[in-house]
Chains A and B, each alone.
Chain A
Amino acid sequence: MTKAQKLVQWDPHNIKAKMLEKYPPKVARKRAKQIMINEAQENSTPEIVANVRTIPGIITMRGCTYAGCKGVIMGPACDIVNLVHGPIGCSFYAWLTRRNQTDGINDTHSNFLPYCMSTDMQDTDIIFGGEKKLETAIQEAYDLFKPKAIAIFATCPVGLIGDDIHAVAKKMCAKFGDCNVFAFSCEGYKGVSQSSGHHIANNQVFTHIVGNSPTEKKGKYKINLLGEYNIGGDGFEIDRIFVKCGISNISTFSGNSTYDKFASANQADLSCVMCHRSINYVADMLETKYGIPWIKVNFIGAEATAKSLRKIAKYFAEKELIDRVEEVIAEEMPAVKAAIKDVLPRTKDKTAMLFVGGSRAHHYQELFRELGMKTLSAGYEFAHRDDYEGRHVLPGLKVDADSRNIEEIKVSADPELYNPRKTAEEVAALEKQGVDFKEYGGLNPIMDEGTLVVDDLNQFEAEKLVELMKPDLFCAGIKEKYSIQKLGIPMKQLHSYDAGGPYAGFRGAVNFYQEIDRLVNSRIWSYMQAPWQKNPELSATYAWE
């Protein structure tokens, strides 16, 4: 796309109309509610519809419940054997395709991530039931690996034929005695997106693992980091910073996780929530059952990282930590500043669009802001209304049929382990100092006036947005990557980072600046036209030099 073409003027209402133009009326009505123009209204903020069903036939970016459960949440735990009950495909596609880096192998001596285990259901199993086969497979996995835990995942057909995977898990668990076996009813059709799978996974982890650790975790300033998945080594970088600050990360859900780390989560004194969408309910449950308060953090963006560290330090309210955090920030920032100074002249005023996940479309705007770039449009793939508008909308959200598929677990204060880490007075005092507990303001407030917020953006709308608004960069996932790039717009995958990363923390920020500089200033995109396409007229004679 040449510079001249880029000087487009657009009005968000127009763009929205163009996005809806081609849809049959019913589809247009539905999509209109999921495309929101971020503009001030008289007494309220604009509402968006989210977490609703995907429209059949409309090419969505979303995946299924199973993908959210097995792929995202349970995928990274290196010493839990994941066994998928179903026909082969679901298991095959979730095999090493998320970038789950782990150093857990160093202390657990087992890494099952490279293994793909499936019951490989055949037609006879569909007809006569697959419980026997599942039992055999669990036994086989146990005999082969002697793991601490085996997790069973149901795929679509399993729910239909009615195999009781939980009963089989329970039976095998009792039989082994030294191996925790539990199951996930995460059939793909059970929700409208991956999000329901996150919920199903986290519920089971909470029920079957948390609180089970036989060892007491030592260390000062003990926290959990919830909703961080260690893509491209993000978690490694965040942990590096924690260690430097003297903060003990007891358990990350679920990047670079191990069984024992999950099991120790109840021993932390604070939960820090990264991805609000995939985990806020775990933070709530940890508070209800064990008395651990939670705050929202964000380690994407250097400023955001500094801010989050200060927030954690404030919570623990000890001078030693507060000072140390300042020292670390002071040590880390010069490299960050130098990197920004280098790239800013080339990235300033460039534009981006981000459609990804349930929190990244928000968090990554921090980095773009640091690069002087403007986000024209953004949205989530599987978030809910509170992730857009903030948690204040929560009381008003209705539970629909799809959400009811997720088993609600009742949690109450643990008779032995409940221990409120802060008194009500301490909490109030901290809130006065700006430590906002259980608070998330969502994506919309940080976006500029007149930008477009689109939920569950689909292929057709993506193409329209790019065509009309001509951003310098588009961010989404692998399925969107090449159709956007065919348009001559660089595309950055913000699920898998295109094999790059880490982008979290201070060093991650530097990586990201350099990567974005590469993308928006690459000469590759200038080669699309051949010389004879730029000047098609045939000159009368060729001028020999």
Chain B
Amino acid sequence: MINPAKTCQPIGAMYAALGIKGCLPHSHGAQGCCAYHRSTLTRHYKEPISASSSSFTEGASVFGGQANLLQAINNIFSVYEPDVIAVHTTCLSETIGDDLPQIFNKAIKDQIVPEGKTVFGASTPSYIGSHVTGFSNMVKAMAALAQPSDNKNGTINIIPGWVEPSDMEELKRLAALIGAKIMMFPDTSGVLDAPLTGTYSMFPGGGTPIDKIKDAGSASGTLALGEWCSADAARLLDTKCKVPCSILDMPFGLQATDRFIDALRTIAGSSVPDEISIERGKLVDMMSDMHQYFYGKKVAIAGDPDQLIAMTEFLVSIDMCPVHIVTGTPGKKFEKRIRELTGEMDCEVNVKAKGDLFLLHQWIKNEPVDLLIGNTYCKYIARDEDLPFVRWGFPILDRQGHQHFPTVGYTGGLRLLEKILSVLLDRKDRDDPEEVFELVL
């Protein structure tokens, strides 16, 4: 594989675990993985990422990591005092075959888990799937903490998928406007967008309280956003706790947001307030204002399946032509879905799951595009091919703002359109020869 469009499971598990209140993610393996995951998340969010490691050395790698994990749990509760430790495995501990539930039982038996504290874990071998799989596995492990309940409390579980803290905040805002009682997990808002105040707390106030997650079985239903990120957890809640679920696309762009809002108001039994309809109207207005610049423009996009599906639909809805679409995450369903979404477009579409950026670059060389959308690594392609480029996805290592400005929902849609139009017109202003260079565009 050359120039991957994916990375490994644990980083997704680590990000998901940060969305639990007072939770320390723990990487069960050698310390390098944890260091790499923390560094990458830190560079993306520009926020402290606390996570610990079992720090395997050769002995642990041969005899198993139980002793290391028990020692780690004890040290973590003594020194950092989290409410929750969310353990994920690495390729190393998976290859050895460490059995997490058995080690947790031993920890409880040995009384190193203090009263009222939670230790749980997910198996996240990176030789299967991608970072998205790891996120999904950790969210599923959260769902597994929930117990069946006959006491339905009228709450709607929302599983947002791997979106930015700002996006999670925006989803909560929309739900509050509709008046839906929701319990969202994970929720990294308030964790990875913390203010600068002169004090540092390893566990800032945000995140979903673990008790609420454990109570997810009392909800009346689950809305899972994104098949790849969130569906497994929702289905588990359905089979285990009889909480019915709907799997929706991530609400990026007009139509996906429409479906999300419509589903939410239907389950909540409330009506959509004018505020939201006005926001929607503004997005439609901007789509019509900008349409002339978008029409027929070819786009290449790389990223994660759930995001790409919603983005493809959005681009098609403004009459752009997403012609090259690559995700590193496996899944035949992805290609099929993209084909459906682009079926009406009258140009050839290249789509690949389990692809890489090298392939995307080759495609672009063969069939040039007007715009590239993807994570920071795509900037090498953008530079080589001199393409207008919008950074969107994970990781973004060279620009800031994504943790604060949402791209979900209608207002998020406005932001996406603004970004796209800016790079297209900046390019035009840069390239237009003097004879045709114009003030008003």
Contacts and interface: CB of A to CB of B under 8 A. Distances in A.
A88 interface: yes
A23 interface: yes
Given A1-B198, A89-B7, A189-B57, 19 more contacts: A23-B79, A56-B52, A56-B71, A58-B79, A59-B52, A62-B31, A63-B32, A88-B4, A88-B8, A89-B11, A91-B4, A95-B377, A96-B377, A116-B4, A120-B4, A125-B127, A159-B61, A160-B96, A486-B48
B22 interface: no
A157 B91 contact: yes
Contacts of B377: 95-96
B127 A54 contact: no
B72 interface: yes
A293 interface: no
Contacts of A160: 61, 92, 95-96
Interface stretch (A254-262, A447-455, A475-483): A475-483
Interface stretch (B38-46, B146-154, B158-166, B287-295): B38-46
6 contacts: A24-B75, A55-B55, A58-B79, A59-B52, A90-B36, A528-B197
B440 interface: no
A435 B8 CA distance: 50
B74 interface: yes
Interface string A478-492: 110111111110000
Contacts of B397: 97
Contacts, number: 233
Interface stretch (A64-72, A100-108, A229-237, A321-329): A64-72
A164 B380 CA distance: 34
Contact of B95 (A54, A161, A192): A161
Nearest to B90: A156
In the A-B complex, the 6 residue pairs with the closest CB atoms: A64-B32, A89-B8, A57-B72, A57-B75, A93-B36, A483-B48
A69 to B, nearest CB: 11
Interface string B355-387: 000100000000000000000010010000000
B58 A60 contact: no
A56 B103 CA distance: 15
A460 B80 contact: yes
A88 B126 contact: yes
Size class of A's contact patch? Answer: 35 or more
Interface residues of B, number: 75
B51 interface: yes
B241 interface: no
A281 interface: no
A88 B40 CA distance: 14
B60 interface: yes
Interface string A145-163: 0000000000111011100
Given A1-B198, A190-B58, A463-B200, A479 B39 contact: yes
Interface of A: 1, 22-24, 27, 53-67, 86-97, 114-123, 125-126, 144, 155-157, 159-161, 187-192, 401-402, 405, 459-460, 463, 477-479, 481-488, 528-529
A323 to B, nearest CB: 45
A456 B73 CA distance: 20
Given A24-B74, A483-B48, A528 B198 contact: yes
Contacts of A56: 52-55, 68-69, 71-72, 75
B200 A486 contact: yes
A106 B40 CA distance: 31
Nearest to A485: B196
Interface in B312-338: 328
A183 B26 CA distance: 31
B10 A89 contact: yes
B60 A189 contact: yes
